[in-house]
Amino acid sequence: MKRSLIAFSFTLFASSAFAFDLGGMMQTVAPIVTSVAPITDAKLLSNPLIKNLTTSLGVTPTQAIGGTAAILNDAKGNMKPADFKTLTKQVPQVNTLLSAAPAGMLGLGSLGSQFSMLGMDASMMDKFSPLVLQYLQNGASPSMDKIVAAAFAQ
């Protein structure tokens, strides 16, 4: 009887000790991503798309780069691997922007979750997408332009 009471107490303690609130955790993490890990790479900060996003949307460089990476990653998932490889040859900054995403952000799942991690709401996705698409289309060939547009439409 004493042994089962100890096991029950330990199980109760362990289950409450490891419980957590994911929403609360995301609210805690979002400010850390945007304030503790600012992007300082001069080449990234001078990218015309990042400058455009920070100026026209009033976001931080970290939010601009992270949001761009999230949208690029989403478009990549909607493209054939060979098409994405061609795009990265035509617009070399795509891989640079993807690799500059804050650690762990692209693995969060939905695009909305990724923007939330950056401290932005889902409405910002609709503001980012046309600017990112325009940037890609400006650097891509006419045939790739259509493929990229189709990837963004999905």
pLDDT for position 105: 87
Residue 84 forms part of a structural domain: yes
Tokens in use for 50? 């990042």
pLDDT of the chain, 154 residues: tens digit per residue: 545 444 444 444 444 444 444 444 444 444 444 433 555 567 777 889 999 999 999 999 999 999 999 999 999 999 999 999 999 999 999 999 999 988 888 888 889 889 998 999 989 999 999 999 999 999 999 999 899 999 998 7
Residue 1 lies in a domain: no
Nearest to 128 by CA among 62, 77, 52, 27: 52
pTM: 0.73
Structurally, how many domains does the chain consist of? 1
Residue 144 belongs to domain spanning:
21-153
Assigned domain for 89 exists: yes
> Is 7 inside a domain boundary?
no
Query: Within a 10 A sphere around the Cβ of 19, how many other Cβ atoms?
Result: 7
Q: Is residue 9 part of a domain?
A: no
Answer yes or no: are the C-beta atoms of 128 and 68 closer than 8 Å. yes
- 61 occurs within a structural domain: yes
Predicted pLDDT of residue 104: 84
Q: Determine, yes or no, domain membership for 3.
A: no
Q: How far is CA 12 from CA 3, 8, 40, 43, 82, in A?
A: 14, 6, 46, 52, 52
Structure confidence at residue 119 (pLDDT) = 92
Query: What burial letters (b/e) apply to 97-120, b meaning 16+ CB within 10 Å?
Result: bbebbbeebbebeebbebbbbbbb
Please state, in angstroms and as integers, the Cα–Cα distance from residue 144 to each residue in 77, 85, 139, 154, following that order.
Answer: 16, 11, 9, 16
pLDDT value of position 25: 44
> Within a domain: residue 15?
no
Helix, strand, coil tally for the chain in percent (to 5):
75, 0, 25
